[in-house]
């Protein structure tokens, strides 16, 4: 009697490959989309925003308004008083820093004090926007600011300052000029830790 050899069984799929596709990629894709287009966390490093913020505190960084603005679905999304996370223009001498021998362009956290078209001036240690002194309850009361002649914030840019106004404690628009709105990652008007707090004045 002739023997019949059954056809070889199809190779079984790797359980690891199935796990990777189903669980790892399935979990990472939503996380990527959320942190890229909606919101993520930002950690404060340094004291340039004292007394409002201190090193190690955790902020909620909202990215959705930036993308909606970029896609022309909303108007301007930045307001005076907003706390923002951004990168300094690559053309600035302050844009890059070296950590462990690696040169990179870090993010900064500052407060928007003037928008495109506003005039900004610092006189007698006071911030003047459009000719009016700005009441800054959030800013440190010690130290002073260098005099700055009046200038107009160009289109597509904002003028930022650290809340820490002690001379030399905040590198901001006084040193590197207005910040391009395209370099702003988003607003960070909410501190999550150590205590949930709104940072808007």
In a domain, 128, yes or no: yes
Nearest-angstrom CA–CA distance, 188 and 58: 10
The CATH number of residue 60's host domain is 2.10.109.10
pLDDT band at residue 7 using 50, 70 and 90 as cut-offs: low
pTM: 0.82
| pLDDT above 60: residue 8 | no
Nearest-angstrom CA–CA distance, 31 and 24: 11
In a domain, 18, yes or no: no
In a domain, 103, yes or no: yes
Q: Average pLDDT of 65-87?
A: 84
**In which element (H, E) is residue 200 found?**
none
Nearest-angstrom CA–CA distance, 177 and 89: 9
In a domain, 143, yes or no: yes
User: How many domains does the chain contain in total?
Assistant: 1
Question: Residue 44 is part of which domain span?
Answer: 39-198
Cβ atoms of 87 and 107 within 8 Å: the answer is yes
Q: 141-178: per-residue pLDDT in tens?
A: 776 677 889 999 999 999 999 999 887 889 999 999 99
Residue 159 has what pLDDT? Answer: 97
In a domain, 33, yes or no: no
Nearest-angstrom CA–CA distance, 10 and 7: 9
In a domain, 181, yes or no: yes
| pLDDT above 70: residue 3 | no
Q: 82-93: per-residue pLDDT in tens?
A: 999 999 888 888
Cβ-in-10-Å burial (0-12, 13-18, 19+) of 158 comes to buried
Nearest-angstrom CA–CA distance, 9 and 7: 6
In a domain, 54, yes or no: yes
Q: 89-118: per-residue pLDDT in tens?
A: 888 887 777 777 777 788 999 999 999 999
Residue 144 has what pLDDT? Answer: 65
Nearest-angstrom CA–CA distance, 67 and 74: 9
Nearest-angstrom CA–CA distance, 193 and 63: 19
In a domain, 2, yes or no: no
């Amino acid at each position: 009697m002739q023997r019949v050899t059954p056809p070889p069984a199809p190779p079984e799929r790797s359980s690891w490959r199935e796990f990777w596709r189903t669980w790892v990629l399935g979990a990472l894709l939503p996380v990527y989309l959320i942190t890229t287009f909606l919101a993520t966390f930002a950690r404060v490093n340094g004291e340039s925003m004292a007394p409002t913020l201190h090193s190690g505190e955790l902020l909620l960084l909202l990215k959705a308004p930036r993308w909606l603005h970029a896609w022309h679905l909303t108007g301007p999304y930045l307001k005076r008083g907003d706390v923002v996370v951004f990168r300094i223009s690559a053309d600035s001498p302050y844009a890059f820093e070296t950590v462990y021998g690696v040169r990179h362009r870090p993010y900064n956290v500052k407060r928007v004090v003037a928008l495109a078209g506003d005039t900004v001036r610092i006189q007698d240690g006071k911030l003047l926007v459009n000719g009016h002194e700005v009441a800054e309850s959030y800013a440190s009361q010690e130290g002073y600011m260098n005099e700055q002649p009046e200038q107009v914030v160009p289109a597509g840019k904002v003028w930022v300052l650290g809340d820490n106004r002690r001379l030399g404690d905040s590198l901001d628009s006084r040193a590197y000029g207005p910040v391009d709105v395209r370099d702003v990652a988003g607003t960070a008007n909410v501190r999550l830790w150590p205590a949930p707090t709104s940072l808007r004045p």
